[in-house]
């Protein structure tokens, strides 16, 4: 793994290099994605069935596109009971964490006869997209469904591409059922996003679409934004480890590789104040690559987006971490909590050598759907807030409005909006 000195130049070069991974740079796919969306919008089920046959090599019909109770029961029989037990344990932690994020309506009344407030309402129907293919992520199913369920969403619809046997992966189905999904449909790709955004004869239109996917899914979500809400346009996974000379190089190397194995565009970065640690971590990585099953993917990921940066001071290291704004940030230093207070930009922060990133992926409770590609500077992890909307409440009695009505009229006239002013004036014709 390459080791470079952290300077202003190398920091800027790194930031520019990482931005190449952004989904916003994949414009060449937009035309084909838009064609799929337009076709599904116009032809509905007919288009969904045709694209599923074209891309997934599976025939689906109005009768078979929805997963049945029998198929869910069959999935439970195929999944190892010990895995079901682990899913249920993780669910307890995930649900407990998200329940602390609940928002409530509030109202503030005053003696003058005015009342202001905020009414919190859960979204009515949400779509959760779950990728298929070679990788199966039941953990992502939990992370996307649970906050919606806690928020009080009335109906949660899940779409996922079928396998060549026409069925959904059993562990995906079990995770969805345990988390509280209402309906599951066998459709993937951009066509699934279009179906959720506009509705078809079989698949209901939703208010918001969440969940990860490939570049076609990401661009489809971007294209339908405005017709529906979306969570984010997620890029490839990334991890940044901040470490000093006290860190265990074997632990650090293992944690870097835990994200590099996702795909060839994943990013793994170590920023350290110790040249000795940098050298040791690089050696540990070489040893791990000899035994890990996804070593080819990891090697390509590290060759393109893997870096070990050696900083002069921890202050410089922290500044660089804040600039990179990584999806996952691990702090493995002598005083990790002190360093944590100086971190401004990160999706999730893992503190100490026993808080490795997979703990957050699977079990701890906080959501693992996180901002990528530097968007942690202005985006937050998926949460209960993503599944609610807020309405402002305004009530004034005549007695409350009378003392301020002339102020409002003056403000409206200053903007040359005489109808606005008149709307207030007609209530006080004596003036």
- What tens digit of pLDDT does each residue of 344-381 get? 999 999 999 999 999 999 999 999 999 999 999 999 99
List the one residue out of 328, 323, 360, 355 whose CA is nearest residue 247. Answer: 355
Q: How far apart are the first and last CA of the chain?
A: 78
pLDDT digits 0-9 by tens, 19-49: 777 666 666 788 999 999 999 999 999 999 9
**pTM of the predicted structure, to 2 decimals:** 0.92
Q: How many whole angstroms separate alpha carbon 75 and alpha carbon 70? A: 9
Region 91-97 average pLDDT: 98
What sign results for the dihedral spanned by CA atoms 198, 123, 359, 91? negative
> Read out DSSP for 186-250?
E--HHHHHHHHHH--SSS---SEEE----HHHHHHHHHHBTTBEES------EEEEEE-TTS-HH
pLDDT digits 0-9 by tens, 202-255: 999 999 999 988 889 999 999 999 999 999 888 888 999 999 999 999 999 999
Q: For residue 1, give both structure tokens.
A: 């793994």
pLDDT digits 0-9 by tens, 145-159: 999 999 999 999 999
Region 43-64 average pLDDT: 96
Spell out the residues 6+ positions from residue 343 whose beta carbon is closer than 8 angstroms to its own: 318, 321, 322, 329, 331, 349
Residue numbers annotated as active site: 327-328
The CA distances from residue 164 to 66, 174, 258, in Å, are: 16, 19, 29
């Amino acid at each position: 793994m390459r080791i470079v000195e952290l300077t202003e130049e190398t920091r800027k070069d790194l930031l520019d290099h990482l931005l190449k991974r952004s989904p916003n740079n994949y414009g060449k796919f937009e035309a084909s994605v838009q064609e799929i969306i337009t076709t599904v919008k116009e032809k509905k089920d007919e288009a969904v069935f045709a694209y599923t046959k074209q891309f997934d090599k599976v025939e689906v019909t109005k009768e078979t596109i929805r997963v049945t109770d029998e198929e869910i029961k069959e999935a439970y029989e195929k999944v190892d009971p010990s895995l079901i037990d682990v899913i249920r344990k993780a669910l307890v932690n995930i649900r407990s964490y998200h329940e602390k994020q609940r928002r409530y309506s509030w109202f503030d009344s005053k003696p003058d006869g005015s009342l202001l407030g905020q009414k919190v309402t859960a979204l009515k129907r949400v779509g959760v997209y779950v990728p298929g293919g070679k990788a199966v992520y039941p953990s992502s199913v939990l992370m996307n469904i649970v906050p919606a369920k806690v928020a009080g969403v009335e109906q949660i619809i899940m779409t996922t591409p079928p396998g060549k046997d026409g069925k959904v992966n059993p562990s995906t189905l079990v995770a969805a059922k345990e988390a509280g999904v209402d309906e599951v449909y066998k459709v993937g790709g951009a066509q699934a996003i279009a179906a959720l955004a506009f509705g078809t004869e079989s698949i209901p239109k939703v208010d918001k679409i969440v969940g990860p996917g490939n570049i076609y899914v990401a661009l489809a979500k971007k294209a339908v934004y405005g017709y529906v809400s979306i969570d984010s346009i997620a890029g490839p996974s990334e991890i940044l480890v901040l470490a000093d000379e006290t860190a265990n190089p074997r632990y650090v190397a293992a944690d870097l590789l835990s994200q590099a194995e996702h795909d060839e565009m994943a990013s793994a970065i170590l920023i350290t104040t110790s040249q000795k640690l940098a050298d040791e971590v690089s050696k540990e990585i070489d040893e791990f690559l000899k035994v890990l099953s996804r070593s080819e993917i990891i090697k390509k990921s590290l060759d393109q987006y893997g870096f070990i940066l050696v900083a002069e001071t921890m202050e410089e290291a922290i500044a660089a971490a804040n600039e990179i704004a990584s999806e996952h940030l691990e702090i493995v230093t002598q005083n990790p909590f002190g360093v944590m207070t100086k971190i401004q930009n990160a999706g999730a922060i893992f503190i100490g050598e026993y808080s490795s990133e997979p703990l957050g992926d699977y079990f701890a409770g906080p959501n693992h759907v996180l901002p990528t590609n530097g968007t942690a500077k202005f985006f937050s992890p998926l949460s209960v807030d993503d599944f609610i909307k807020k309405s402002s409440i305004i009530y004034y009695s005549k007695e409350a409005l009378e003392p301020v009505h002339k102020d409002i009229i003056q403000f409206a006239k200053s903007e040359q909006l005489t109808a606005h002013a008149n709307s207030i004036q007609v209530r006080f014709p004596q003036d």
